[in-house]
Amino acid sequence: MAAAQATRACLALARGDLEGLRDNAEDARAHFAELGDLWGRLKTADLLGRLAEINGDYDRAAQLHRESLRVTQALETWPEMSTKLSGLGRIALLTRRYDEADDLHTRALRLAAEQGNRPAEQFAALGLALSARRQGGLAAAEEWLRPWLDWNRRRGDGPGLALVLAELGFIAEQRGDAARALAHHRDGLTAAPTTRARSPWPSKAWRARTPLAGCPKRAIRLLGTAAATRERAGAPHPPAEQGDVERIATRLRATIDEPTYAREFTLGTRQDHEAQARWRRGGQGHGDRSSGCPTARARPPHAAWSQVPGPTVAVHADASWTGAGVSAARSAVWGPRG
């Protein structure tokens, strides 16, 4: 009974059914506690920790990650130890305790490398990259990210590839390289699995002779779509994860009046991934007349696609949507670099 409920909780997480995840995981956790089953406690603590992190309840998430770490030590399931340390590192990162986050991720990276556990090694390395970028260390962040591009492509890991590309896109944007940032975010959208459409932006890059300058309305709409993506999955953006959005929204608001910003953002929230994909395919180079922005012909995807919806998908798609908006907005504000 408890194991079946834990399995249903895992499936609920994959579907994006956060209520089903919570109900099944909590029931399974209670049953495992009655049985004194440490393995069951470990699995349900992991699930509920993910739920707490999605919902921005970082105190609860840290508590559950620490419990998972203690159970892992008790069971001597050493291959899982690295992931638990990285989980705690992520919470430290989100709560801006960067020294603690770097220490936890470094320990996790070392342990994963010793065990030859490449997925856990990537999880730790990406934590160090996220921390470096948040602290302004763009070169260090890129160094942590680059080795995982080909690794994820070889494995056909869409979500992992999408996260790496989104971060590289933000690095390029913060360096002022709008063209490179847009290319990374576009590829990240191609890699990110979605519910039905292959990508919320399955279009070819705008040609170098068609700069994004003068498209702030389009950028604002993309930010609206990014926000709506997570809202629809039941996983709205927690405040700790809004730094990139706030940065570019501030820049955009400096170039456009507030009523126009609110109107364009609202228009973006009304467009889902499929609608955006159809719009991009239908544009065929004629442009978005409402915003004065060019469109381009559709590009084929270069990665395998998952059909599983859910908050994880929404998070990756949101990062790429936000990044696309950031890249477009940077070009709109400053023009393409070089």
DSSP 243-261: HHHHHHHHHHHTTS-HHHH
pLDDT-derived band of residue 332, with 50, 70 and 90 as boundaries?
very low
Distances (CA, A) of 217 to 149, 176, 223, 226: 31, 19, 10, 14
Q: In sequence order, which residues have a C-beta less than 8 Å from that of residue 120 and are 6 or more positions away?
A: 79, 82, 83, 86, 108, 111, 112
* Owner of token pair 């504000």: 333
pLDDT, tens digit, 9 for 90 and up, residues 37-56: 999 999 999 999 999 998 89
Q: Are 293 and 287 in contact (CB under 8 A)?
A: yes
CA dihedral 222, 130, 139, 107 (to 10 degrees): -160
pLDDT above 70 covers what percent of the chain? 73
* Owner of token pair 């030590």: 73
3-class secondary structure, 309:
coil
pLDDT, tens digit, 9 for 90 and up, residues 229-278: 777 767 777 788 888 888 888 888 988 899 999 999 999 888 865 555 44
- pTM for the full model? 0.74
Query: Which tokens sit at 194?
Result: 């979605």
Mean pLDDT, the chain, whole residue set: 78
